[in-house]
Structures are given as structure tokens and as C-alpha cells.
Amino acid sequence: MEPFRGVFTQQEAIPEQAVDAAIEVLRSGRLHRYNTLGEELGAASELEQVFARYQGAKYCLACASGGYAMSIALRAAGVRPGDAVLTNSFTLAPVPGAIAAVGAKPVFVEVTEDLVLDLADLETKISESGAKMLLLSSMRGHLCDMEALTGLLEAKNVILLEDCAHTMGASWSGRLSGSFGLAGCFSTQTYKHLNSGEGGLLTSDDSQFMARAIMLSGSYMLYERHGAAPPAEVFKTIRLETPNMSGRMDNLRAAILLPQLTALDDSIRRWNERYHLIAERLSNVPNVRMPHRPDEEAYVGSSIQFRIPGISKTQAIRFVADNKALGVELKWFGDENPVAFTSNHHSWQYVDPQDLPKTDEVLSGLFDMRIPLSFTLDDCEHIARILSHTAYQNMGSGAT
């Protein structure tokens, strides 16, 4: 088997239009989002306007990171220290981290074999915890039944905040991810769907919520310079009672993002071409289980996940090593030790330990792989052959 020579952390180059826009900002010297002249909008405010239109949202706030967007969303939604906040048990560390950052207590909800929130366990956890807030993590781009979810939350009087770090541009029954709850939180970190190194976007239709978020982000009294903000009168009291927790996006990052946003739908098409190719090949490998993607879900295949149910710890470690030897970088979510960006609830020791047997069973055989757009379709064919080869190699000793 010929090894794959590509680099799984190599994103596409920033488009020339974005490079030119960044140079223009650098030459101006006015990188701070409020360093504008006269009626000039500034790149950060323009990005807020453009992304709000893309999402079909009334308001948008550009901020320092997706994790920061989640933290101030929780604060702006009224979460207080000691409150219980529900979230997925299968997620990445910034999600429980955002909850811990506001002094709240994460309550993990089991996930299904299709990597989405278990709605039956959610109903149980709502009753047991008394939580009035769900920070939904559509982890790795997998959307649960959003209509069933919102119906349950409405009946239980629970507020929904959406972590859309992996679902920018995705939708359920034609409705964009991030538009189902009080707010949508997005990331523009390098490995997400728009790339500014770090960055975040927060959207909402609620004027009071967004006014609080803008003040929390560090607007001082310059909230009227935002491109997609509530009217000034909404800030009359909020501006005096809301702390400044500086986490603004600067004009340089915003300038880089604007041209990428216009190309997002085409990027989604290309990601899904690559995802579908690899998924089709893996679906023909015995013992490999692909998550079911419902017809209502229009997803973004920027990464791929699959399970090998019943694989042992030793086999899983060998499977990852065999792929790495052939140039394919996999993450295994069942690893008891956190590795780079990958960890699970057992290693988040700032959270009270929780019993999650269904999730642990899912994670024990769950593998994950990035699909950067720098890979060609031929590259994806090569990767799929390697994954199939190593899966067959590791099947004979007990995986079912």
C-alpha cells in the first residue's frame, strides 16, 4: 500500500482577494474595529452585516473566538454561577469550557450511535438537573432532529443556544443551523469553514440579548458602530449594567473573512464531494459503521467520522498507528489520554464526573478525520483505500 503524502493540517491558501483586503487594512494601520473615520463602516462591522444576511438573522457580533462567543452568549442569556447547563457528552473541550467560564455546571447528555443528542436522555436530564439552558453542540457537523428538539425544549421551558462551530452553512429541513434557538455561535478558527486563524460570530434575533453580548464583548460606548446591532435605545440601561469582557474581532481578521464568506456555498459543495467519496468507500467495509444522515439534514462534510463497534483498546491504538504509518491521521475519541484537539468527558476534570455509559460505548470505537479542501478527489480515493486496507487488517481479532 503506497503511503499518502498529504498534510491533514494544510488548509487551502487564503484567497488573493482576502490577502489584498488584509494588506489594505495593514497599510491603514487601523486594525482595531472602532478605529474608523466618519461614517466608515470598517471590516468588522461589514462582516457582521454580511453574515447576519447570510444567516437570515437580525443581529450579528464579530468576536475573538467561537469559545468566547459561547461564553458571552451564556452570560447574555442570563446564566449565573452555579447554574446547571445541559450540553452534549460528545463534544470538544471549548464547550464545557465556555460553561465553566461563567461559573456554571455542565450536565452532559448522552449521544446516540449517530453522534447526535439523545433526546430521551435529554428529557430525563432536564427533569433531574432543573437546567433551563441547553448549549447544543452539533459536534463534527451532525445535526439532531431539530424540530423534535425545539418542540421538547419549548414544552420544558428550556432556552437553546447553538454551538455551530462545525455547522456553518448546514441546515435542517431547509433552516440554517444557528437559527433554531436564542442564538447561534460560530467559529472562524483555521480548521472551521471560514479561516481567520481565530475568530467567532454570534447571531440572534433578540435585541436585549444582543445588546448585552455587544457590551460584554468590549464595545465601551461605541455600540452604534456595529454593523448589525439593535437600535441605540435598547442599550440605554444595558450599557451601564453590563461588564466589559473584551473579546472583539479586529478589522484584519474580518477583512480576511469577507471574501471567504462569499465562497462558502461553493466550499461546502467541494467538501461534500470529498466526504461522499470517502463515506461511500467506507460503507462497503465490514465492521465499519457510518453515522446515518437523515434526509432533512444538509450537512458540511469538512470531517468524517466512523465507528468500529467492539474494537478493543489495543486494536484501536494499532488501527490509528497503522493508518499513521501510511500517512493517514485519525483521531480516536475513546483514548483515555487527551491528544492535541481531541479529548472526552473523562479528561475534563474541572467538571463533576458523570456516568455516561452509552456515550462511552460510542466513543470507544469512534474515529475521526479532517477533510481539508487542499486534498483532491484522487487524494480522497487514496485515503479511502488506506482506511479500508487498515480496517480489514484489524478486523480479524474481535471487532464486530
Distance CA 181, CA 189 (A): 23
Find the angle CA(280)-CA(286)-CA(291) to the nearest 5 degrees.
50
pLDDT band at 394 (very low <50, low <70, confident <90, very high): confident
What's the pLDDT tens digit per position in 254-297? 999 999 999 999 999 999 999 999 999 999 999 999 999 999 99
What's the pLDDT tens digit per position in 119-129? 999 999 999 99
H/E stretch holding 362:
helix 357-364
Instruction: Please name the fold of domain 16-262.
Output: Aspartate Aminotransferase; domain 2 (3.40.640)
Q: Which positions ≥6 away from 382 have C-beta within 8 Å?
A: 2, 4
Q: In this structure, which amino acid lies at residue 341?
A: F
Residue 3: Cβ within 10 Å count: 11
pLDDT band at 343 (very low <50, low <70, confident <90, very high): confident
Distance CA 136, CA 89 (A): 10
- At residue 395, the pLDDT reads 67
3-state SS, residue 363 = helix
Classify residue 51 as exposed, middle or buried by CB count within 10 Å of its CB (0-12, 13-18, 19+). buried
Between the two ends of the chain, the Cα-to-Cα distance in Å is: 24
* pTM score, whole prediction: 0.96
Distance CA 59, CA 314 (A): 49
Superfamily of domain 264-395: Aspartate Aminotransferase, domain 1 (3.90.1150.10)
All three cell numbers of 216, joined, read 460584554
Residue 337 to residues 328, 331, 343, 367, Cα–Cα distance (Å): 20, 12, 7, 15
Query: Hey, where are the domains in the chain?
Result: 16-262, 264-395
- At residue 400, the pLDDT reads 37
3-state SS, residue 111 = strand
Q: In this structure, which amino acid lies at residue 274?
A: R
